[in-house]
Amino acid sequence: MLRSNHNLMKINSSIFTLLFLIAFHFSFAQQKIKSPNVILIITDDQGFGDLGTHGNPHINTPTIDAFAEESVRFTNFYVSPVCAPTRASLMTGRYSLRTGVRDTYNGGAMMASSEITIAELLKSKDYVTGIFGKWHLGDNYPMRPSDQGFDESLIHLSGGMGQVGDFTTYYQDDRSYFDPVLWHNNQRESYDGYCSDIFASEAIDFIEKNKDKPFFTYLSFNAPHTPLQVPDEYYQKYKDIDPSVGFGTDRKPFYPMSEKDKENARKVYAMVENIDDNLKKLFQKLEELGIEENTIVIFMTDNGPQQQRYVAGLRGLKGNVFQGGVRAPFFIRYPDGFQGNKEVNILSAHLDVLPTLAELCGFEVPTDRKIDGKSMLPLIEGEKIESQDRSYFSYWTRKYPELYENISIQKAGWKLVGNTGYNAAIESFDLFDLSKDPYELQNLSKTNTAKAKELKSELDEIYQELIHEENLVNPPVIQIGNKAENPVFLNRNDAAGERGIWAQEDIFGYWKVAIETGVYDIKFKFVKPVPPNGKMTLEMGNQASIALDQSTSFIDILEMNDVRLDKLEGDLVPFYTVDGKRYFPFWVELKKR
């Protein structure tokens, strides 16, 4: 009897051991197949030459340089000439004009809510998603990060802190990057410290909090965008350098720098070194948490530099379709997924990030719309590509695209650039053979007219396609009176009207809105206090509400309460007139009762 019990105990022990081993291997297998985390890092106005790894002897970026060495480096990677279009394409895999984004302000930096973002696609695969820094694709419902797939959002408004659209930091002047009021999950909150430190710190906290589940962290630094503000400890490291010398005799073009350019470069380099230090903390956290191997990390920038400085010989700056405006660094590291420390020199672009993450993370690319990007994974894995003969279209002008003004297309090493009139002869264009002339110095349009015409024909085709896109013809509108956002603040970044609306007082402007029927209390904030005894007018469709100012002194906020507005979609036009002068509000607040 005792022997039988002993045998039974042995059998039970064996079964327990077997079950334990099965459970262990199952748990291990689960860990191995856990969806990769994704960290997408993008900086603002950091040019191709603003990295030590790209030959700049003045800037100190050891963390990013080391990361580049460990990554797959795409050396022929392109973005849009300015920031909002780049971010729209990055989030959707589509040319920005398809999304409704056509500018950085003038009401052209709002992305249609019908667009499907990386965040939404990853969220559908049970990722937790967070953005920290710059969004610049709409500050109101239904275009905010929280409306487009992000669970957690800590952002500034509009295109930059200290700019007119970011009215919570605008009046801080030369301290707008320090101790800012930011928007945390759509609510205003005050923070202590320097903006880049805040965004990085909050991103690291988000990662630590969600380390046991797949996460998507979009760390979108607003630096080194203007205003060029940086902690003094960083500036002191660069205050005595001459950023125009020390580049050896590599024969790359170097464009002249004014004294102002040199001082700007010192501040930019200090801001970038601060970013580098913050990324060191982030990468250390990944190691500490033991998730570095299963985390996809991407580093890129959004366009060329705004000010003249070292650009690795490239022609042009931010806003320009020459290489200096649109060629950007792109480094991707994923230790569990592919081997790093190699270069890919095939044409690629911000459009390709979404399809690449789709393959790596296992979500489906939307099939109900045109996706312009292509997965970079075959290039990363060194597969033989049947055709590398893709084209890339680029443009930028204020308000709407202008035919043949600051517009380009490149394909198979050739690039055609238009800076001319709508009916210009082909010889007025610039044609470059980038394989032999990467710095765009030799115009071949007169000697190779056939190639120029071939590229122009394709450029014409895609231009016509894009300008007739639904979201460009019928642009996104701000929803007013919806319970998802009440009150609503309309800021200058999203105001349409005259070109170049900024901080002017006397300028015609309006916001494209869709209003729900209701009674509203409305506040109009002006750039500076306006004279008393004027008339405040609010036009909306066929309705006009007028209030007479009864104040006796200059005042910067006027109010209209108990205003009945009917359901309507159109242009909301506010203006204050006094003594024959017109004033356009700095921002408008509408609160539905």
Q: Looking at residue 429, what is its pLDDT?
A: 98
Q: How far apart are CA 245 and CA 241, in angstroms?
A: 9
Closest CA to 353 of 338, 375, 368: 375
> What type of residue is 173?
D
Question: SS3 for 577?
Answer: strand
CA distances from 296 to 51, 215, 221 (A): 21, 10, 18
- What is the per-residue pLDDT for 14? 53
Average pLDDT value for the chain: 93
Q: Is 78 helix (H, G, I), strand (E, B) or coil?
A: strand
Q: How confident is the model at residue 21 (pLDDT cuts 50, 70, 90)?
A: very low
Q: Three-class SS of residue 582? A: strand
Q: In this structure, are 517 and 452 located in the same domain?
A: no
Q: What is the pLDDT of residue 248?
A: 77
Write out the DSSP string of 252-295. -------HHHHHHHHHHHHHHHHHHHHHHHHHHHHHHHT-STTE
So what's the pLDDT on residue 24?
Answer: 41
Percent of the chain with pLDDT over 70: 94
Residues in the chain: 593
Please check whether residue 17 lies inside any domain of the structure: no
Domain-terminating residue out of 358, 380, 402: 380
The answer on 545 and 398 residing in a single domain is no
Distances in Å between the Cα of 309 and the Cα atoms of 253, 263, 276 are 11, 10, 19
What are 494-503's pLDDT values in tens digits? 999 998 899 9
Nearest to 272 by CA among 450, 58, 468: 58
In eight-state DSSP terms, residue 384 is P
Which of 82-86, 230-234, 399-403, 534-538 has the least mean pLDDT? 399-403
Section 309-326 average pLDDT: 97
How far is 472 from 115, CA to CA, in rounded Å? 13
Domain-embedded: residue 242: yes
- The answer on pLDDT for 44 being more than 90 is yes
Average pLDDT over residues 87-104: 98
Task: Identify the band that residue 13 occupies on the pLDDT scale cut at 50, 70 and 90.
Answer: low
Q: Using pLDDT thresholds of 50, 70 and 90, give the confidence band for residue 29.
A: very low
**Cα–Cα dist 31/537, whole Å:** 62
Asked if residue 17 has pLDDT above 70, the reply is no
Bridge partners (DSSP) of residue 190 are 181
Structure pTM? 0.93
Both 187 and 47 in one domain: the answer is yes
Cβ proximity of 84 and 101 under 8 Å: yes
Within a domain: 224: yes
- How far is residue 286's CA from residue 283's CA, in Å, rounded to a whole number? 5
- The pLDDT, as a whole number, for residue 93 is 98
- Position 382 scores a pLDDT of 86
Say if 385 falls within a structural domain. no
Q: Number of C-alpha atoms within 13 angstroms, CB side, residue 119? A: 25
Matching residue, tokens 């539905």? 592
Q: Is the pLDDT of residue 111 over 80?
A: yes
| Residue in 486, 492, 479 with CA at minimum distance from that of residue 522 | 486
pLDDT > 90 fraction of the chain, expressed in percent and rounded: 89
> Residue 100: what pLDDT?
98
Selection from 116, 221, 222, 218 nearest residue 165 by Cα:
222
The answer to whether 239 and 233 have CB atoms below 8 angstroms apart is no
In this structure, the answer to whether residues 195 and 325 fall within a common structural domain is yes
Residue 367 sits in the same domain as residue 407: no
- Is 261 contained in some domain? yes
Taking the C-alpha atoms of residue 358 and residue 285, their distance in angstroms, rounded to an integer, is 25
Contact 39, 219 (CB under 8 A): yes
Question: Are residues 504 and 540 both part of a single domain?
Answer: yes
Which pLDDT score is estimated for 529?
97
Return phi, psi of residue 356, to 5°: -65, -45
Distance CA 112, CA 471 (A): 7
For 451-517, list the strands marked E by DSSP.
478-480, 488-491, 496-497, 509-515
Q: Is residue 1 in a domain?
A: no
Residue 123: both structure tokens together: 């969220």
Indicate the residue among 355, 380, 405 that finishes a domain: 380
Residue 26 pLDDT class (50, 70, 90 cuts)? very low
- CATH label of the domain that carries residue 135: 3.40.720.10
Token pair 């443009």 is found at 395
Cβ pair 394, 323 in contact under 8 A: no
- Mean predicted confidence (pLDDT) in 293-315: 97
- Any alpha helices (H) in 113-242, and if so which ranges? 118-123, 167-170, 195-209, 232-235
Q: Omega into 62 within 30° of 0, i.e. cis? A: no
Q: Is 60 exceeded by the pLDDT of residue 423?
A: yes
pLDDT for the residue numbered 173: 85
Let me know whether 222 and 293 are in one domain.
yes
How many Cβ atoms sit within 10 Å of the Cβ of residue 466? 19
* pLDDT, position 1: 42
Are 82 and 135 in a shared domain?
yes
Listed residues 380, 408, 437: the one ending a domain: 380
Spatial separation of the C-alpha atoms in residues 561 and 177, rounded to whole Å: 35
The model's pLDDT over 285-300, given as tens digits with 9 standing for 90+, comes to 999 999 999 999 999 9
Lowest-pLDDT choice from 187-191, 357-361, 388-392, 483-487: 388-392
CA distances 551 to 316, 527, 545, 587, Å, are 51, 18, 18, 20
For residues 496 and 107, the answer to whether their CB atoms sit within 8 Å is yes
When pLDDT is cut at 50, 70 and 90, the band that residue 383 belongs to is: confident
pLDDT at position 247: 87
CATH classification of the domain holding 582: 2.60.120.260
Does the residue 14 lie in any domain?
A: no
Confidence of residue 570 (pLDDT cuts 50, 70, 90): very high
Q: Which residue has the tokens 């319970």?
A: 483
Dump pLDDT digits (tens) for 432-460. Answer: 999 999 999 999 999 999 999 999 999 99
Short-list 491, 472, 510, CA closest to 85: 472
Tokens of 464: 């016509």
- So what's the pLDDT on residue 384? 65
**Contact criterion met (CB below 8 Å) for 94 and 368:** no
Could you tell me if 143 and 291 lie in one domain? yes
Do 493 and 359 share a structural domain?
no
Indicate the burial class of 260 (C-beta count within 10 angstroms; 0-12, 13-18, 19 or more). Answer: exposed
Eight-class DSSP state of 1: -
321 and 457 fall within a common domain: no
Return d(Cα 132, Cα 337) in angstroms, integer.
Answer: 26
Look at residues 295, 300, 318 and name the one whose alpha carbon lies nearest to residue 308. Answer: 318
pLDDT at position 550, please?
82
Q: Same domain for 372 and 410?
A: no
pLDDT at 542 over 80: yes
pLDDT over 80 (residue 28): no
Instruction: Tell me the CATH number at 421.
Output: 3.30.1120.10
Q: Which of 127, 273, 283 is nearest to 219 (CA)?
A: 283
Give the per-residue pLDDT at 47: 96
User: Nearest to residue 500, comparing CAs of 395, 396, 398, 403?
Assistant: 398
Which tokens go with 580?
Answer: 């024959």
> What range does the domain containing 422 cover?
391-473
Angle separating helix axes 62-70 and 259-289, nearest 10 degrees:
60
Give a yes or no: residue 386 inside a domain: no
Number of domains composing the chain: 3
Q: What residue ranges in 387-451 does DSSP mark as E strands?
A: 391-395, 405-411, 414-419, 430-433
